[in-house]
């Protein structure tokens, strides 16, 4: 799973989140950096309000957090979501020893990104893709 630091880099690079059930997210800068939340149709839902989209925490009694604006959250995309964002540039994912390698084709060049987890390798490739198109 991606850490909040890499997820923030993706957000800053222009990755936009279209919340769906099962998506993971964090709420940085509220002493919740280490907490991972999951959108569900029971307790954590997205609500469209006149003032904007918010994430509502319904029925959570463990701590007091009613709603948080989407802009205050950071999406923690899964491996499949990162691969989808790479689109047609994605070529392969390989695993050797303690590293994962993502290969992508960008502007006629094959690029390789290596990281300890598949999520991090995909994220590195996506950051490179976003840098090339902006």
Looking at per-residue pLDDT, the higher value among 54 and 105 belongs to: 105
Q: Are 28 and 7 in contact (CB under 8 A)?
A: no
Query: Residue 17's pLDDT band (boundaries 50, 70, 90)?
Result: very high
CA dihedral defined by 134, 131, 46, 26, rounded to 10 degrees?
-150
**How do residues 50-102 score in pLDDT, each as one tens digit?**
888 887 766 654 455 567 788 989 999 999 999 999 999 999 999 998 999 99
Domain boundary assignment for the chain: 4-75, 79-133
Dist. CA 53–CA 69, nearest whole Å: 6
Q: Are 45 and 39 in contact (CB under 8 A)?
A: yes
pTM: 0.82
What per-residue confidence (pLDDT) applies to 61?
A: 47
Looking at per-residue pLDDT, the higher value among 65 and 132 belongs to: 132
For 29, counting Cβ atoms within 10 Å of its Cβ (0-12 exposed, 13-18 middle, 19+ buried), the class is: exposed
């Amino acid at each position: 799973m991606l850490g909040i630091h890499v997820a923030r880099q993706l957000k800053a690079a222009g990755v936009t989140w279209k919340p769906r059930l099962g998506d993971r997210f964090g709420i940085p800068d509220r002493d919740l950096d280490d907490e991972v939340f999951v959108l569900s149709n029971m307790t954590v839902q997205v609500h469209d309000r006149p003032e904007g989209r918010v994430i509502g925490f319904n029925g959570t009694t463990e701590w007091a957090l009613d709603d948080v604006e989407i802009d205050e959250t950071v999406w923690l995309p899964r491996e499949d979501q990162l691969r989808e964002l790479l689109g047609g540039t994605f070529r392969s994912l390989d695993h050797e020893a303690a590293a994962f390698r993502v290969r992508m084709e960008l502007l006629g060049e094959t690029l390789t990104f290596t990281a300890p987890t598949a999520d991090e390798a995909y994220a590195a490739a996506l950051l490179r893709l976003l840098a090339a198109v902006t």
